[in-house]
Structure 1
Amino acid sequence: MSIFSGLFRSRDKPGHRPKDSTNGSGYRYYFGSSSSGKAVTERSAMQISAVYACVRVLSEAIASLPLHLYRYTDKNSKEKAVDHPLYPLLHDEPNPEMTSFIFRETLMTHLLLWGNAYAQIIRNGRGEVAALYPLMANRMRVNRDENGHLYYEYQMSTSDAPTMKAGTVRLMPNDVLHIPGLGFDGLVGYSPIAMAKNSIGMAMATEEYGATFFKNGANPSGILSMPGVVKDPEKIRNSWEAGFGGSSNSNKVAILEEGMTYTPISISPEQAQFLETRKFQLDEIARIFRIPPHMIGDLEHATFSNIEQQSLEFVSYTLEPWLVRWEQSMQRSLLSPEEKKSYFIRFNVDGLLRGDYQSRMNGYSTGIQNGIFSVNDVRELENMDLLSDEEGGNIHVLNGNVVKLADAGSAYNQNSNKEDTNGKGKQVLEMGKKQAARSSKSRTGNGRTDAVP
């Protein structure tokens, strides 16, 4: 217990600092050598096609979604806050050097490779956000001062935007937009690449084996033997590799001299299940990033009946957690305490959730007939020009009578009035029949007409 108590006491010290994913190389899940012997870093991992595809799919998806700043209205609804100075930074251009798409794509790439995304917040004299510049995650350190307060240390480089002085710069939390990934302390995220370095290292090893296999003429390695003593084995080896090595020499016929024999000693790629191993690693990497395999080129299990459902699940279970991380981090860092009461930041995922044309039209038809959508609501979703009020573009109707939502009960009232009128008419008719019957009876009985009371 003394060991653990000492550990807990050391963590409670004010100088204790949260560890980034590149620190603590003694732990197996950090960057470095994998079990396959391959060194896995964020840059070497991107040379694996499956990793590159997963990072690209997620980064481009986050970057391409419309990003808006909204304000709450008095009618329990929302509207785009286009007049707020933060709106054009998020939607169009966060700084003079890049678009919103490039900015978000860059930060999402950092988030997937290093587990953290950082951006410097430039404020004007009123404290409003004036610009956002991405910062390299591998040159950022998150520390605590002697009072236990967080601060950021960033190592400047000549390639950075000239927003800070050269050397190591200390930034306060108010000056940094930090989007952390999955982590152990809630402050700094751990890299998915580092956590899965053994799987990625195995993919590297199998890919290198395949490249070497074709480099050797698609033939397994073996032994060249000849009777007697070989005087210059290095010369014979170089001569053999020059004549029969490489994929361009794979169809050449080897000529052996002076009793020389060739004996292969390696197992074939089929026996080593090379192709199956490579395919499994593709699925393994897709599993790390929670990407449907068909989105990175593996269509083996994709069909016409399930591929659309997989795409919808990608939005719900893969993109949604990342979007929430982005939205909450931006609201926490970019909005003041007073602004948080009236403003919020949201991605629009409606475009990704749309089905095929026929499904959309059926859904729109149901929505219009039940008063959910107006014609202009549907036209806006389809990026079409809106209709004027005279053309009925903003009218909500109900199925059946197809009238305005406000007039939906008028038909019932009219029918009720008609029923009441018909009821009174029936009473008058019945009274007339009774009077006629009495009159006829009176004339038949005494030959004279008596007054009917």
Structure 2
Amino acid sequence: MSIFNRWFRGRDAPKDSTTGSSYRFFFGGTTSGKTVTERSAMQMTAVYSCVRILSEAIAGLPLHLYRYTDTGSKEKAIDHPLYTLLHDEPNPEMTSFVFRETLMTHLLLWGNAYAQIIRNGKGEVVALYPLMPNRMTVDRDENGQLYYEYQTSQDEAHTMKGSLVRLSPHDVLHIPGLGFDGLVGYSPIAMAKNSIGMAIACEEYGAKFFANGATPGGILEHPGVVKDPERIRESWNSAFGGSANSNKVAVLEEGLKYTPISISPEQAQFLETRKFQIDEIARIFRIPPHMIGDLEKSSFSNIEQQSLEFVKYTLDPWVSRWEQSMRRALLRPEEKAEYFFKFNVDGLLRGDYQSRMNGYATARQNGWMSANDIRELENLDRIPEESGGDLYLINGNMTKLEDAGIFAASASTQEEQPDEEQESTEQSEEESQEPEQSSNLRERRKPL
């Protein structure tokens, strides 16, 4: 145990704050000269769009708690307290959509999502409250046990007492992102700060370019000695500065000469650089460019496939993180073998109407989907059981699956029927002959 403790103390020893939850070292200055934080990054339209798309996608997916039945199938555990908590209202202040949207935003910006678990006397979860990741510290004590330390604030719900509160893993729902130690995730914004910083610098350059009248900066040359250069500079800026004064004719007096010194945006490939930075940000979050408004490489033939790939390669990993983290933190040990959480992504994987109908027809005719199975996927009312809504049919006169082969059985019965008819005919003939034979005998026995 002493070796174990020394290893964890050594793990937390570096001063550059690159270990554990203290990853603040990565935020701040960049090679572009712009400071990048989670809040300044959200001022970039591409970053804001990516975060909004992913957070709203996770928040909008149906989330259910299921249980395994004795037959091996699954059913919704509507009677379990966690079902209503996660499906409808995690706490009295939020809906399930807002709660999940908030946690997913934290996860995308800081790399971690935390929520305080409120339990009753029986140990049942009765509420979940989001916690800010930038005020949370994850560490281990002298015995190697994990703990969470949170700095409270006045603008939060008063669910904790004290300014610095230590919480056990039993009281925290922690969803970590990609990290180095498997315990704490690292911020995508922090890890890609140079790329985002360059995008911020390009945006600021474009804004200042138009603020200066869409005219490159330059030098005003005077053949003599200028007694008051500040007055001349202010006079020039007031007359020709700003986008409202662009393309005005300048009148130079006293031998003044204007010499531009900066290159045009076209020469600097300004627009191309801005486009590339949008692709860079989309690459960080693994978002298809067409979803954030870049349709340059999208068409009607591939945009649906890109949307399906978004569900498969972008949403599915996040969904798995959510499901497994909730199972680990919210279910009691004896419940983990019986219950599980599941996001329903089937609605996002559906194709167009014609493709869905063709798929349903194939499933219906081959006997592995009933009418009610299809109607549930289309959010339609079920057909009553007595009307055949739960029947599984196969192609060929739509015979019930349990009656498959009935035609062959009837054909074999017909082949055997002539033999039976012949036997019955012979038997009837014998019975008809018996009276004749008996009458002849009586006639022969008659006395002369």
TM-score normalised per structure 2? 0.90
1:74 aligns with 2:70: yes
User: What is aligned with 2:232?
Assistant: 236
Equivalent residue in structure 2 for 1:213, among 209, 233, 258: 209
Q: Quick one: structure 1 residues 44 and 67, their matched pair in 2 at CA, closer, same or farther if it must change by over 3 Å?
A: same
Q: 90, 115, 120: which one pairs with 1:119?
A: 115
State the Cα distance separating 1:143 from its structure 2 match.
1.1
Alignment of 1:53-92 (within 5 A): 53-92=49-88
Deviates more, 1:405-414 or 1:43-52: 405-414
1:49 and 2:45 aligned: yes
User: Partner letter of residue 116 of structure 2?
Assistant: Q
**Residue 395 to residue 179, structure 1, CA distance change in 2 (3 Å):** same
Cα distance, 1:412 vs. partner?
2.4
**What CA distance in whole angstroms lies between the structure 2 residues aligned with 1:222 and 1:100?**
56
Q: Which amino acid aligns with 1:19?
A: T
Asked whether the equivalents of residues 14 and 148 of structure 1 are also in contact (C-alpha less than 8 Å), the reply is no
What is the CA distance between 1:276 and its match in structure 2?
0.4
* CA deviation profile, 1:44-66 (whole Å, cap 9, x unmatched): 00001100000000000000000
* Distance in 2 of aligned mates of 1:170 and 1:8: 22
Give the alignment partner of residue 141 of structure 2, picking from 134, 139, 145: 145
Which residue number corresponds to residue 377 of structure 1?
Answer: 373
Equivalent pair of 1:15/1:148 in contact (CA under 8 Å): no
Q: Structure 1 CA distance, aligned partners of 2:381 and 2:254? A: 85
1:128 to 103, 121, 124: 124
Equivalent residue, structure 1, for 2:360: 364
Matches within 5 A, 1:239-250: 239-250=235-246
Contact 1:72–1:342, Cα closer than 8 Å, also in 2:
yes
1:267 maps onto 2:266 in alignment? no
1:310 to 278, 281, 306: 306
2:387 aligns to what SS in structure 1?
coil
Q: What's the offset of the Cα at 1:24?
A: 6.2
CA distance, structure 1, for counterparts of residue 136 and residue 168 of structure 2: 13
Match of 1:277 among 250, 273, 276: 273
Q: State the distance in 2 between where 1:427 and 1:365 align.
A: 47
Q: Given the alignment of the two structures, is residue 353 of structure 1 paired with residue 363 of structure 2, yes or no?
A: no
- Structure 1 counterpart of 2:19: 19
1:21/1:115 contact within 8 Å kept: no
SS of 2:355's equivalent in the other structure is: helix
Q: Measured at CA, do residues 216 and 399 of structure 1 come closer, stay the same or move farther in structure 2, by a change above 3 Å?
A: same
Cα distance in 1 for residues equivalent to 2:34 and 2:7: 33
Q: Report deviation, 1:425.
A: 8.9
RMSD: 2.0
SS of the equivalent of 1:119 reads strand
Report the equivalent of 2:430. none
Contact residue 67 and residue 345 of structure 1 kept, 8 A: yes
- Alpha-carbon distance in structure 1 between the residues aligned to 2:22 and 2:239: 46
The code of the aligned residue for 2:281 comes to I
Identity within the alignment, %: 72
Distance 2:150 2:204 in 1: 36
Give, in whole Å, the separation in 2 of the partners of 1:186 and 1:205: 34
**Corresponding residue of 2:411:** 415
What TM-score, normalized by structure 1, do the two folds share? 0.89
For residues 105 and 259 of structure 2, the distance between their equivalents in structure 1, rounded to whole angstroms, comes to 48
Q: Distance in 1 between matches of 2:411 and 2:220?
A: 103
> Which of the residues 321, 326, 331 maps onto 1:330?
326
- Measure, in 1, the Cα distance between the counterparts of 2:415 and 2:236: 106
Task: Count the aligned residue pairs.
Answer: 417
Decide which moves more: 388-397 or 321-330.
388-397
Letter in 2 for 1:49: T
1:94 pairs with 2:93: no
Deviations 1:361-420, CA, capped at 9 Å, x for gaps: 111111111112111111111111221123222111111130111112322211222344
- The residue aligned with 1:204 is 200
- Residue 290 (structure 2) aligns with: 294
Q: For 1:31-53, what per-residue CA distance to the aligned partner results, in whole angstroms no more than 9, with x for missing partners?
A: 11011011110000000110000
Give secondary structure in 1 for the equivalent of 2:117.
strand
User: How big is the shift at 1:82?
Assistant: 0.2
Q: Secondary structure at the match of 1:254?
A: coil
CA distance in 2, matches of 1:246, 1:14: 57
Q: Check if 1:227 corresponds to 2:223.
A: yes
Distance 1:341 1:391, change over 3 A: same
CA distance in 2, matches of 1:11, 1:194: 26
With over 3 angstroms needed to count, the CA separation of the structure-2 counterparts of 1:22 and 1:194, relative to structure 1, is farther
2:247: which partner in 1?
Answer: 251
Q: Is the 8 A contact 2:54 2:104 kept in 1?
A: yes
The alpha-carbon deviation at position 426 of structure 1 amounts to 12
1:253, distance to aligned residue in structure 2 (A): 1.8
Shift of 1:76: 1.3
Q: Residue 421 of structure 1: CA displacement?
A: 3.8
Unaligned runs of 5+ in 2: 424-448
